[in-house]
């Protein structure tokens, strides 16, 4: 990636805000919505995500967004790249036959689901989300995709929280992040 890309990353970083003790005491919460409150940064972020996918995952056939914040980015990049946009949602939100996977995250545990027939075997998928903390959500999403026979190319997030060892916890799923915090 070139120096123009690095400048865009610095610009994006300057727009991100964090909130101590949310949603629980001891958690420093990184709020992706703070970067979306001006149109310039929305365009900047969109172009960074699309450029990163074209460079790192050129063969991708479907982006898989994780509810809820991942959805902000999965549709917009899929529309620009002209590829499929598939949802993985929290328990009880998807109609039809679903597969479920329980997982832990930084401030609790949850269940993610995928529609059984949403993925054809071998489909080259990229998981997209706003942030990786423990890696629980991306790990659960990858398990669901494997169960459907998908080929998981990796994952793309805007923010990576290094101290929570997310990428080490999901060694089978390559993680690409735009910004990391220690
Ligand atoms: O790496 P992990 O430890 O799994 O944490 C990261 C996940 O946590 C947040 O989602 P959350 O489940 O809070 O849902 P939301 O997007 O609906 O707010 C975030 O958007 C990621 O999906
Ligand atoms: N620290 C954090 N900030 C924002 N979203 C998160 N999801 C899990 N941990 C988080």
Distance 61 CA to ligand 2 centre (A): 28
| Model pLDDT, residue 151 | 98
Q: Which residues of the chain have pLDDT under 50?
A: none
Does the predicted model carry a pTM greater than 0.95? yes
Residue closest via CA to ligand 2's atom 10 equals 29
- The residue to mutate among 25, 107, 132, having the most atoms of ligand 2 within 8 angstroms of its beta carbon, is 107
| Model pLDDT, residue 1 | 75
* Ordered structural domains, the chain, with CATH: 3-181 (3.40.50.2020)
The two tokens of residue 74 are 């999965």
Residues 163, 131: contact at Cβ < 8 Å?
Answer: no
Question: Is 106 tagged catalytic?
Answer: yes
Counting Cα atoms < 13 Å in the Cβ hemisphere of 76 gives 16
Q: Give the whole-angstrom CA distance, residue 163 versus residue 20.
A: 16
| Model pLDDT, residue 95 | 98
H/E element, 131: strand 124-132
| Model pLDDT, residue 107 | 85
pLDDT tens digits, residue range 16-68? 999 999 999 999 999 999 999 999 999 999 999 999 999 999 999 999 999 99
| Model pLDDT, residue 178 | 98
| Model pLDDT, residue 19 | 98
ipTM, 2 decimals? 0.98
Residue closest to 52 by CA, chosen among 125, 17, 2, 88 = 2
Residue 110 CA to its chain's centroid (Å) = 16
Beta strands 84-90 and 108-115, pairing class: antiparallel
């Amino acid at each position: 990636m070139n120096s123009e890309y690095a400048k865009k990353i610095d610009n994006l970083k300057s727009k991100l805000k964090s909130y101590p003790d949310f949603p629980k005491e001891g958690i420093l919460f990184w709020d992706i919505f703070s970067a979306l409150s001006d149109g310039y940064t929305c365009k900047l972020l969109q172009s960074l995500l699309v450029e990163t996918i074209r460079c790192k995952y050129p063969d991708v056939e479907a982006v898989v967004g994780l509810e809820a914040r991942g959805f902000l980015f999965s549709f917009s990049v899929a529309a620009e790249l002209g590829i499929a946009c598939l949802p993985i949602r929290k328990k009880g939100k998807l109609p039809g036959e679903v597969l479920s996977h329980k997982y832990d995250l930084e401030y609790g545990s949850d269940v993610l689901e995928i529609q059984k027939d949403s993925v054809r075997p071998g489909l080259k998928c990229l998981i997209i989300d706003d942030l990786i903390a423990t890696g629980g959500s991306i790990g659960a999403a990858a398990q669901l995709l494997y169960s459907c026979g998908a080929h998981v190319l990796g994952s793309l997030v805007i923010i990576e929280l290094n101290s929570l060892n997310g990428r080490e916890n999901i060694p089978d799923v390559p993680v690409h992040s735009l910004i990391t915090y220690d």
